[in-house]
Copies of this chain bind each other. A is one copy, B any other.
């Protein structure tokens, strides 16, 4: 079947796209259609020069003096304030620091402590069973340390579980496998009505979809710097705490940067009055420098409509992908594993390949990558209900409509031509 959307249609949409110039902010390799920005964002063109400045001028020449003269000492806050603009937080409410996992530990522990102070009967942490594993592992640890139980539920069962024995609910807003987007405002309202604190992981939403933490009445949030924020591999994450909790917030990673007076060298810990109490060790300046460049690429959309405009394009890209996939990929053995309704979907689309389909999904993705289309593969859980996934992220800052067309076309050829059967595509890499 010929697609109802032609490559020319897609090219025309790119020409009409007011966000198209934002792509020039990135160093994208020639001949590659990169649809894995939901795993590792692309390199901003500004990052190399900025890091060179940090290295040669600030570190090399300024040496120790750059903690003051180059503003290193305030970078966690400065970059945090920029991220805040993307997630509905106010200046001074968010810091960039540590990894997402470490930040999740801080805020989950803080939430558990507050919940316990407010009512000894609240002793359950609720999480989504299929959440990204690091979230579950950290929740498991916090639950153990606080004498609480961790209950893992299907997403659709969470609301009904928010009763008066539940201390904390932790959810990743956009699911890493399916791209399902939770209704943050609704879940926060239900949780608040039940006296349950919410901890949001924005790994797949910050910079991808409009987020309004304060508007939704969320309690805590963490997020990732290296996906849609384009901060580079292993970039610092971030954490946010609603102002109503800050004064009583205690988190266990009480390093010196979280102290009220880090350079007074007092023997006892006194937390900083603000969000700085969520800082721990010395800020990672190279990582923060690169992260700032990445966040700036998203903020560059502000004069063009900001996150709302990026979201509108993201929906158009993913709808285009789904329409083309329906015509060319579902008949070839794939299934749509992301919500069809864009209001319930983040900025990615996942296609399923059933284990009994006869298609080696891992090899198919490798064959696709060999054709220059980079998505990623996530193994299913082995059950018929858990197909292997071919995951495609749409980053409206640099993904074009022709990229969507070319990706579907290439995957169609890979599946039709049984290219994936070539032995060279079957070898598993360490990171899948």
Q: Check if A430 sits within 8 Å of B67, measured CB to CB.
A: yes
A267 and B129 in contact, given A376-B64, A431-B68 (Cβ under 8 angstroms): yes
Contact pattern, A 50-78, Cβ under 8 Å of B = 1, otherwise 0: 01100110111101111110001110000
Contact status B59-A233, CB under 8 Å? yes
Q: Are B61 and A29 in contact (CB under 8 A)?
A: yes
A66→B233 contact, CB < 8 A? yes
Q: Report the bound CA distance from A258 to B138 in whole Å.
A: 11
Q: Are B29 and A63 in contact (CB under 8 A)?
A: yes
In the complex the two chains form, is B133's CB within 8 Å of A267's CB?
yes
Query: How many copies are assembled?
Result: 2
| A-side interface residues, number (CB < 8 Å) | 89
State whether A100 touches B281 (Cβ < 8 A). Answer: yes
The answer to whether A56 and B48 have CB atoms under 8 Å apart is yes
Task: Judge if A336 is at the interface, Cβ distance under 8 Å.
Answer: no
A253 touching B430, Cβ below 8 Å:
no
Residues on B with C-beta less than 8 A from A321 are none
With beta carbons under 8 angstroms apart, the residue of B266, B269, B283, B287 that contacts A286 is B287
Closest B residue by C-beta to A266? B133
Q: Which of A76-119 contact B (CB under 8 A)?
A: 98-102, 105
* CA A132 to CA B267, docked complex, whole Å: 8
Asked if A255 meets B99 with Cβ closer than 8 Å, knowing A52-B52, A66-B233, A232-B285, the reply is yes
User: Chain B's nearest CB lies how many Å from the CB of A58?
Assistant: 8
Given A140-B269, A263-B432 in contact, is the A285-B233 Cβ separation under 8 Å?
A: yes
Please give me the residue from chain B that is nearest to A58 by CB atom. B233
A52 and B63 contacting across the interface, CB-CB below 8 Å: no
Residues of chain B contacted by A34 (CB below 8 angstroms): 63
A415 part of interface (Cβ distance < 8 Å):
no
Instruction: Give A375's nearest chain B residue, CB to CB.
Output: B64
Q: Which of A42, A252, A284 has the most chain B CB atoms inside 10 A of its CB?
A: A284
Complex contact A65–B141 (CB within 8 A):
no
Query: Which residue from B43, B51, B379 sits with its C-beta under 8 Å from A51?
Result: B51
Does A235 reach chain B (CB closer than 8 Å)?
Answer: yes
Give every chain B residue within 8 A of A133 (Cβ-Cβ): 256, 259, 262, 265-267
Are A234 and B287 neighbours in the complex by a CB distance under 8 Å?
yes
Highest count of chain B CB atoms <10 Å: which of A52, A142, A237, A286: A286
Tell me whether A60 and B266 are in contact (CB under 8 A): no
Q: Is A4's beta carbon under 8 Å from chain B?
A: no
Told that A48-B56, A51-B51, A55-B232 touch, could you supply 18 new A-B pairs with CB distance under 8 A? Answer: A32-B63, A34-B63, A36-B63, A36-B64, A40-B63, A40-B67, A48-B55, A64-B374, A68-B429, A68-B431, A98-B98, A101-B281, A133-B267, A134-B255, A137-B258, A234-B281, A234-B282, A286-B286
6 contacts between A and B (CB under 8 A): A48-B55, A74-B430, A101-B253, A134-B281, A137-B269, A234-B282
